[in-house]
Amino acid sequence: MKKVDLVRIGKVLRSQGREGHLKVRLLEKGLPGPALSKVYLGGSGGFDEYEVESFELDRSSYFLKLKGIDSLVQSDGLAGLEIFVPEESFRPLEAGFFYDFQVIGSRVVTGDGTEVGTVRGILSAGGPDVLVVARGEKEYYVPFAEPICLRIDPEKREIVIDPPDGLLELNEI
């Protein structure tokens, strides 16, 4: 499977125990969980496919057990690797909700077609999330809220916004 067919969901932090469990950090906030039957671990050198034996949340930490990884030595060798899954393994979300990977990298334009930039990240600030939109060396902070984000099209990788007067100038860094 090619990297473009996969979504990075996290990273192996370290081994956990003698039976080959892995402590992992997930990237997606509010992850209802991809259907984790298979994962791909890798880095710049390629990917290895693993079947998932178990995936559990225990006291705010996630633990992953892979078939065939049954010792501390084997699990230690996986520390630091990125965890990927196919996009289709994610459960569909309700209308109007999106996974971060569906938004990051999207082109942002105003209603009249003026290019604002590309979503580089998402900040959680206690209220609505904020899109970090980059254009060249400039960054803009755009509230990821319905009155401002008029249309979000993850398939076209495009977000149409209607920023209030002065928002883009105010948030320019």
- Pull the structure tokens for residue 158: 């495009």
Contacting residues for 172 by C-beta, under 8 A, at least 6 apart: 138, 139, 140
Domain hosting residue 138, numbered range = 100-170
Indicate whether this model's pTM tops 0.75: no
pLDDT digits (tens, 9 = 90+) for 113-130: 999 999 999 988 778 889
Domain with residue 154: its CATH number is 2.30.30.240
Strand bridging mode 107-110 / 115-123: antiparallel
Domain with residue 18: its CATH number is 2.40.30.60
- Pull the structure tokens for residue 20: 């080959």
Same domain, 7 and 55: yes
Domain end call among 89, 123, 157: 89
pLDDT digits (tens, 9 = 90+) for 14-48: 999 899 999 999 886 555 455 678 999 987 778 99
Same domain, 85 and 18: yes
